[in-house]
Structure 1
Amino acid sequence: MITMAEVQNLVWFLRRQYKDAEETITLTGHQEVSLGRGLDVTHRTIPKDTPFNMFSRKHAIFRPAADGTWTVQDNNTINGIFINGHRLKPGIPVALKEGDNIQLGLPPTRDSEPEFLYRIVRDYTSNISGNRTDSELKSKRKETAENADPQGSRPGPSHHRPVESSGHKRRRLEQLDEDLGHKQREKQAEQRVKEAEARIQKMQSLIEEKELAQAALQEEMKKKEQEMQQERRQQVLGVGMCSAVRSPSIAEKTYVTETGIVPVYSSSLSQNVGPLMSLGPPA
């Protein structure tokens, strides 16, 4: 039989579902819980395999509902939030139920596993106390150490590292975030340069192929033109030879006409020779 104390210890929490990541985020109290890579969230996570621009600074906001359950809201992100594969509308809280899979953003590729995939589960706090994240454990140890041995409480020189102020720590984290983002942008820029170089090389190959095809076409046209000129020269020579063959016939015509007897107008001398022979010698 479950006691009232056990019911009170039954809480909601998010369990990370990515490779061997053992991360658990407890959802307790009446305050919202936010996830992202920025500094103004309750649980900050830096992407390892996912590009920075695919995981927002403040990606998801979890809020407690009046009935004891929790809701999740997409904080107007570009890559969205998916509940059991269905994308949420930005800015609208959606109620969660036990066993729901919550995916923040998109995986690096279509075939890769999403890096920020969580499952919401209810369990007793005693069962999840050992599943805290490294950041939560470090924060807890730091708070315990500071409370047990505050700076300046012991006489003499301190052998402990000086406590970092919140402002300095915030600036350092911001610088770290900027450095990581800069490296990510450099990597993306290098990838874009490689892709552009590949496209340029492909275009150069196409241009070279086109130039070779044009040169071959011009050579073919030049050859055709030379053949046509040769054919025209042969035709001209053929016409001259035909004129030379017909020239004796013309001489015969001229000889007949030089007699002064009868002009010959026909191309055939046989038509006029008969009448000339019948005339006989002159009287």
Structure 2
Amino acid sequence: MRIGIVSPVVTRVPGAHSPWEAAAGIEELGAIAETADRLGFHHLTCSEHVAVPTGVAEQRGGTYWDPLATLGYLAARTTRIRLTTQVLVLGYHHPLEIAKRYGTLDRVSGGRLILGLGVGSLREEFALLGAPFRERGARADDALGALRAALSRREPRYRGEHYEFSDVVVDPHAVQPRVPLWIGGRTPRSLRRALRFGDGWVPFGLPLDDLAAMVRGADPPEGFDVVMPAGRPLDPLGAPEATDRALRRAREAGATVVGAALAATSADHYREQLAALADRGAT
């Protein structure tokens, strides 16, 4: 089981971030990324929201760094760690936009991109961006087919219900022959979508027992990633046994990758927590 880092600073959901993150910036995030890279952690994340309505921000938060700009910067400060969108909302983008922009990120990072993708649920943001909301599931399925056809190809071709393209050049494009697609969601349908189109599933907001039952029932194939959250922020320095227990529970539930948030009082403390987690053999 590999351990990835749910990046601090880049999102601030009420009750789910530490006070120090509000004053932190790109230098603190870059230093954390360098430490995670050096210690051998699997991936860093960055989520996406374009413009959150003020009423919704009280629950979901309003701070969401742009993943393309953020991960492009972190690519220049790291050498091995994977760079993961967790998640892009498919309905906000044409598949060729994702193929071109994130294919370029894959090129400049030396093939370290993981595309985390989701259907989306924030109706107000869909309306703001002029994106269809009611048919977002069907459009997302078609977009995933189009992405699979377009990523890693200079002259992609695709014909689907909502997207169609041919006789076009997308250059640069991804250098990985198959960019991993991790599909986010919390429903059986999202897991079925991940098994059909993707290389992994990134569930959220469900108890581990429920996740374990869903994974057992789906019987995912060899090489398919199940990316489970570690639960509450881990504190490997202050609560090492609880940290071990949380990771063990995720592994037993069927996780192949764990997304870990860390409890910390500062960026320096966060880096110390990373080192302590690595010392426990968690990378």
Q: TM-score range by the shorter chain?
A: under 0.3
Bigger RCO of structures 1 and 2 (CA < 8 A, at least 6 apart): 2
Normalising to structure 2: TM-score of the pair? 0.20
Question: Please, what TM-score do these two structures have when normalized by structure 1?
Answer: 0.20
Structure of greater Rg: 1
